[in-house]
Amino acid sequence: MARAAESPVIAPLLEWFDEHERPLPWRRSTPWGVLVSEFMLQQTPVDRVLPLWTAWLERWPTPTSLAEAPVADVLRAWGRLGYPRRAQRLHATAVVLRDQHEGAVPEDHQALLALPGVGEYTAAAVLAFAFGRRSLVLDTNVRRVVARTVGGAAEPTASISAPERALAEALWPADDARSARWSAAVMEFGALVCTARSPSCLACPIQEHCTWVALGQPVAATGSRRQPKYDGSDRQARGHLLAALRDSSEPVSARTLARTWPDADQRRRALTSLLADGLIVRSGRGRFALPD
């Protein structure tokens, strides 16, 4: 059965990308560099990732080099990028790549999904951006562009549904190289033009094909989803405790940690969760350190 004709949004958006693509270094990197970027970019803006990604690849240019590093060094290098479990899982992934994949990132969807911290999105992104393969790279920006252009909705649903995945499957170009380029283009377009707030519709190269514009840009049926408040949260408490350990070359006492966060109950919860996650370990009576 012949495949349907390519959507009219593909060619103009690819032309837009040819002119407006940002020179992000991981786009010209190794599969390992791409995988590292995907771990770092989870819920983190590009400008915060750029300097750390560059320093990281200079220090650990291969999975094996990272696998052989102490976890404590990895957590210190991750610094204040946020969500330190990503660093922990990236290190665990490097160990798996060294031990099970001859130190290389696999070009196989199921093998990628088996890596610690790699889900459907990350596996699809690595296949597309590292290996030039056709895969449905459905991050928030991509889903928003598809929801507006094809579905006529201001925002995508909270989670990816089977109909949404089928819609993307029909939209993505059939050719591997063109599909991979499209994945990068639509992601860039969602980040720079078809943004969540104040989209630049007048500068949109596919405005005439956009169902959302044709319908008069209806607002989302529900309010926009907001990130939980960070200030004063348990997550912030965790960050303060972890920072104290990162900044010390020796184990830190509970008394010293008490000075990093004033709320005793919240500090106790944060400490317990960090221990449970394996991000810190006990080091003698009443002292704590980063894992080896």
Q: Which residues are designated catalytic?
A: 38
- Measured in degrees and rounded to the nearest 5, phi and psi for residue 118 equal -105, 120
How far apart are alpha carbons 169 and 210 in whole angstroms? 18
Q: How far apart are the first and last CA of the chain?
A: 56
Enumerate residues 6+ apart whose C-beta is below 8 A from 170: 4
Distance separating alpha carbons of residues 117 and 93, to the nearest angstrom: 8
d(CA 75, CA 239): 12
Q: What is the dihedral of CA 249, 253, 259, 264, to 10 degrees?
A: 140
Identify the bridge partners of residue 281 per DSSP, sorted by sequence position: 289
Please name the residue ranges forming H helices in 46-197.
46-59, 63-67, 71-78, 85-100, 109-113, 120-131, 140-146, 162-171, 176-192
With CA atoms as reference, report the closest residue to 172 among 35, 4, 16.
Answer: 4
For the chain, helix (H) and strand (E) counts, in that order, are 15, 3
Phi, psi of 192 (to 5 degrees): -110, -30
Structure tokens that stand for 267 in this block: 């500090």
Q: Do 191 and 257 form a contact (C-beta atoms < 8 A)?
A: no
**How many other C-beta atoms are found inside a 10 Å radius of the C-beta of residue 231?**
6
